[in-house]
Chain A
Amino acid sequence: MKTPPRNKLCSTEQLSRFHDGELDARERRQVESHLPNCPSCRIVLEDFDRLGHLYRRQADQALAAVDMSALEQSLLTRMQQRGGASAGWRTWLKPTRLLIPVTVAALALVFFMIPRPFNSVPNGSAPSAIINSFTGSVTSVMLFETPNTHQTIIWFKEDSTANGENDAVENL
């Protein structure tokens, strides 16, 4: 489709602001009176609409691909684990609430007085390290796990030609 010729009144940046309702009243009137006579400006505005529509469609698709309720649950669990926000320390001085800290204190005293008979050891079946992400000036990376204690080993080759991080990672 051929784009009609534009004249010196056409400013796509101004059209962008017009599209967003960000022109003052005088500028807006100018553009509104210009548009009926300028097919190319009308096409630009249609394009802006189209782009916004495309973007919202992709955003809907991105949202549909996420299990929001699982995300919410995971988040609330983490927040609960963090212990909640400050609940007001003053409430802990109320008589009825003293029983809990007293019990905790007593248990703590007992716990610290008894020597620990064992040291906890890592779980034998899970890898010692989970690699969440990696980047760097490398040309190759290998990941190993030892068979007995499942110790994680990362082996990387330093990039001797060192053109920079991006080049090295591109070669992986």
Chain B
Amino acid sequence: MPLRIFSILLLAASLMLILPTAWAADNVNIGIKTILASNDKQYQDPQLKGIIDELQTVFRFTAYRLLGQDRLSLATGETGNVSLPGGRVLSVTPTGSRGNRTQMDLGITKAGRRIFETRIELLNRGTITVGGPRHENGFLLLNITSE
């Protein structure tokens, strides 16, 4: 009987330690960087150092500027929205997980109209960049990371 009580107490103490972390782990943490890429005068935003090197393997823009940075912590099925320049809104909805990937729906609306929608499986701690919307004299790049 004492062993049984001790075991239950030990389990309860461990749960108190584990549960807050586990609960947070059920939420998906997503970082979004809104970048303006253009062929303006050469400029590389120091806050984008690691990202620009990677993007430059595909793009040939001369200037990259960080316009905004957001972080969402979302439960499965919960939608988070991020305001983007030009009256656009990015919505992110984690829908589940498969192996080491998080399934999520990404959408962009402009003036209330859905202009982009995709369903992806993003590697944990992986990044996807969605680009193309025009802004000022360049293009918006949305650098989305599962943290």
Contact = CB atoms under 8 A, between A and B. Distances in A.
A123 interface: yes
A106 to B, nearest CB: 7
A5 interface: no
Range for the number of chain A residues in contact with chain B = 35 or more
B116 A156 contact: yes
A1 interface: no
A170 B124 CA distance: 34
A158 B54 contact: no
B119 A132 contact: yes
Contacts of B126: 122, 128-129, 151
B124 to A, nearest CB: 7
A65 interface: no
Given A122-B124, A128-B122, A136 B129 contact: no
Contacts of A102: 7, 10-11
A98 B126 CA distance: 39
B145 to A, nearest CB: 9
A134 B130 contact: no
A20 to B, nearest CB: 39
B134 A155 contact: no
Contacts of A127: 123
SS of A interface (majority): mixed
B2 interface: no
A148 B114 contact: no
A147 interface: yes
Contacts of A126: 123
Given A130-B120, A152-B129, A138 B101 contact: no
Per CB-CB distance, the 9 closest pairs between chain A and chain B, nearest first, are: A128-B126, A105-B14, A129-B128, A136-B116, A137-B115, A156-B132, A130-B121, A134-B118, A102-B7
Interface of B: 4, 7-8, 10-11, 13-15, 17-18, 21, 54-55, 57-58, 100-101, 103, 107-108, 110, 113-134
26 contacts: A98-B8, A101-B11, A102-B10, A108-B18, A128-B126, A129-B123, A130-B120, A131-B118, A131-B120, A132-B120, A135-B117, A135-B118, A136-B107, A136-B115, A136-B117, A137-B113, A137-B115, A138-B115, A148-B57, A149-B54, A151-B126, A151-B127, A151-B129, A152-B120, A154-B130, A155-B132
